[in-house]
Amino acid sequence: MNLKNKLKATAVAVLLLGTSAFGGAAMAQQTTPPAQQGQTQQNFTDAELQQFADASARLMAVQQEGEKKMMGILQEENLSIDKFNEMAQAHQQQQLDQVEATTEEKAAFNKAAQRMIEMQPEMQKNVEAAIQKDGMSLDKYEQIMIAYRQNEALQQRVNEMMMQDQK
């Protein structure tokens, strides 16, 4: 498994623990009732879509910084990514006692997981700041994200804007 996949796996493990770095926006998308999804606004201005694209780029940076901090925590606790992921998955399934781990590894896992949970208020604040930097509301970002996931034409428009920003 390469480093990028391990980082993603670490992020997934943290999500399993309920410590998503993108709690507000990501969770709102997942918990939107189907009836409400059908009523999602599809007509956004170019300015709104540009704000969304810019906010999404900033969110990627926030996510990368969060992953970097989580990797640092694991290194400080002398816990491998694979062992942390294994233990996190077992914890989610309430089977942590069945994982083959030393007392030191279990203590390191508990300490690392606690430290990651303690990061969440700051991460949430950074996520909100990244979205709101150019004046976009969290609600508007969530509306566009839901529409983005449902509408291929909208995905294409936003992706083109993001590609233009990279030039």
CA torsion angle 51 56 62 63 (round to 10): 170
Residue with tokens 């034409």: 153
Q: Is the pTM of this model over 0.85?
A: no
84-110 confidence digits (pLDDT tens): 999 999 999 999 889 999 999 999 999
Q: CA 153 to CA 147: how far, in whole Å?
A: 10
DSSP labels, 48-68: HHHHHHHHHHHHHHHHHHHHH
18-76 confidence digits (pLDDT tens): 433 333 333 333 334 444 444 556 689 999 999 999 999 999 999 999 999 999 999 99
